[in-house]
């Protein structure tokens, strides 16, 4: 099979049909007809085998994840995803692998209205890079910068599941729900594209809430206090891990691809209504304050947490 057959079989006609793609896969470049009077948002993420996903990951998951992690960034910017390009480096032509990878990518793309418009295919170590462009109404974009003292901090979904799932995969044990949460993250596209007018700042949680909320606070030049009991944990996570371990995974685990948002007090009701209309669970976990840095409380008292460390809950037993 030639490189051209491979592209035709697995990468032409992937994802949603969009009338704004005038020319997609097959020419030297894609030709697009972007929406008038909107700004474009551009994001890119790379996954390297054994660095960002274990060798045992199913190809379908690799295809799904590499798109999903990009869509999560688009959502965090308050934008609507539209077009994706894929750079694929594979060690050899494994048809089953390519078919499953393409299926995983396709499922995620179709679900979120995204079309694969082009890419590049080379032989090399297994590395996948995706670039996504989205669009957003002028002034409706959301940045990490913009949170103000008094804003409420919300997160979507549950935290820590993916990190526990990755751990389980590496050890070859664990609950399938947790492993699925790592393999098939669910980017919060529906909320992202509608939240712009209601939130003051947002970030997607890829490296753990502690670190990512830290970036938002730094960019906004504010601080925050988070109530540890409020961290949203799945039933599976809290019934399989001790409370301090579950909180550690939720704060420092990574790979969640949930959104963390600052919401001005006056928008709280509308924001919660928007989340319910997206059938999305959100949890208020704390609030923005003036004093820089991220602080935590547990049982109503200040609780020191080193969000970079590894056993920061060791004193909490």
List residues near ligand ADP by CB under 6 A: 7, 11, 25-28, 86, 88, 116, 118-121
CA distance 130 to 284: 32
Q: Which does 119 bind (CB under 5 to 8 A by kind): Mg ion, ligand ADP, none?
A: ligand ADP
C-beta closer to Mg ion: residue 28 or 139: 28
Range in contact with Mg ion (rule: CB under 5 A) among 27-35, 43-51, 80-88, 124-132: 27-35
Which of 86, 93, 135 minimizes the C-alpha distance to 109? Answer: 86
Among the candidate windows 20-28, 63-71, 139-147, 260-268, which touches Mg ion by CB under 5 A? 20-28
Binning the chain into helix, strand and coil, the percentages to the nearest 5 are: 35, 30, 35
Among 26-34, 154-162, 210-218, 233-241, the segment contacting Mg ion (CB under 5 A)? 26-34
- Supply the Cα-derived Rg of the chain in whole angstroms: 20
Partner that binds at residue 298, options ligand ADP, Mg ion, none, CB closer than 5 to 8 Å by kind = none
Which CB sits closer to ligand ADP, 83 or 182? 83
Minimum Å distance from CB 14 to ligand ADP?
A: 7
Whether the Cβ atoms of residue 155 and residue 282 lie closer than 8 Å to each other: yes
Of these partners, Mg ion, ligand ADP, none, which one is at the site of residue 7 (CB under 5 to 8 Å by kind)? ligand ADP
Write down the H helix ranges in the chain.
Answer: 3-11, 59-76, 95-111, 161-171, 176-183, 189-195, 209-220, 235-240, 243-252, 268-277
Contact 155, 285 (CB under 8 A): yes
**Smallest distance, Mg ion to C-beta of residue 142, A:** 36
Nearer to ligand ADP, 42 or 211 (CB): 42
Q: What are φ and ψ of residue 33, in 5° steps?
A: -120, 80
Report the residue number, 27 or 36, with the smaller CB distance to Mg ion. Answer: 27
Please name the residue that has the structure tokens 């490189």.
Answer: 3
27 binds, among ligand ADP, Mg ion, none (CB under 5 to 8 A by kind): ligand ADP
Selection from Mg ion, ligand ADP, none that 88 binds (CB < 5 to 8 A by kind) is ligand ADP
User: Is the CB of 66 or the CB of 236 nearer to ligand ADP?
Assistant: 66
- Give the DSSP per-residue string, 214-281: HHHHHHHT-EEEEEGGGS---HHHHHHS-HHHHHHHHHH-----EEEEEE-GGGHHHHHHHHHHTT--
| Residue 26, binding choice from ligand ADP, Mg ion, none, Cβ under 5 to 8 Å by partner class | ligand ADP
CA dihedral sign, ordered 171, 177, 180, 185 = negative
Contact status: 27 vs Mg ion (CB under 5 A): no
- Taking the least distance from each CB to ligand ADP, the nearer of 83 and 313 is 83
Rounded CA-CA distance 86/67 in Å is: 9
As a whole number of angstroms, the distance between CA 133 and CA 200 comes to 22
**Neighbour count for residue 88 (Cβ, 10 Å):** 26
Q: Which is nearer to ligand ADP, 104 or 118 (CB)?
A: 118
Q: Which 87-106 positions form the footprint of Mg ion (CB under 5 A)?
A: none
Q: Least CB distance from residue 118 to ligand ADP, whole Å?
A: 3
28 contacts Mg ion (rule: CB under 5 A): yes
| CB closer to Mg ion, 25 vs 249 | 25
Q: Which residues bind Mg ion (CB under 5 A)?
A: 28
């Amino acid at each position: 099979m030639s490189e051209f057959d491979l592209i035709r079989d697995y990468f032409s006609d992937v994802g949603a049909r969009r009338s704004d793609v005038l020319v997609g896969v097959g020419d030297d470049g894609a030709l697009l007809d972007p929406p008038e009077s909107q700004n474009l948002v551009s994001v890119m993420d790379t996954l390297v085998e054994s660095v960002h996903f274990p060798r045992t990951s199913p190809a379908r998951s690799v295809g799904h994840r590499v798109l999903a992690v990009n869509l999560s960034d688009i959502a965090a910017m308050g934008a609507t995803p539209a077009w994706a390009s894929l750079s694929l480096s594979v060690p050899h032509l494994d048809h089953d692998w390519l078919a499953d990878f393409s299926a995983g990518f396709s499922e995620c793309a179709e679900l979120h209205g995204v079309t694969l418009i082009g890419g590049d295919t080379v032989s090399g170590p297994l590395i996948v890079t995706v670039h996504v462009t989205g669009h957003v109404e002028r002034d409706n974009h959301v940045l990490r910068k913009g949170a103000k003292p008094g804003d409420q901090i919300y997160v979507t979904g549950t935290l820590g599941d993916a990190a526990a799932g990755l751990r389980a995969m590496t050890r070859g044990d664990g609950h399938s729900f947790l492993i699925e949460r790592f393999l098939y993250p669910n980017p919060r596209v529906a909320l992202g594209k509608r939240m712009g007018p209601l939130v003051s700042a947002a970030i997607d949680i890829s490296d753990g809430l502690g670190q990512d909320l830290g970036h938002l606070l730094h960019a906004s030049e504010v601080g925050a206090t988070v109530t540890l009991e409020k961290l949203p944990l799945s039933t599976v996570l809290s019934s399989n891990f001790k409370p301090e371990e579950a909180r550690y995974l939720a704060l420092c685990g990574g790979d969640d691809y949930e959104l963390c948002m600052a919401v001005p007090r006056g928008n709280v009701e509308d924001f919660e209504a928007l989340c319910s209309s997206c059938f999305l669970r959100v949890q208020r976990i704390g609030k923005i304050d003036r004093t820089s840095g991220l602080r935590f409380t547990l049982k109503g008292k200040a609780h020191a947490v080193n969000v970079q460390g590894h056993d920061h809950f060791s004193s909490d037993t």
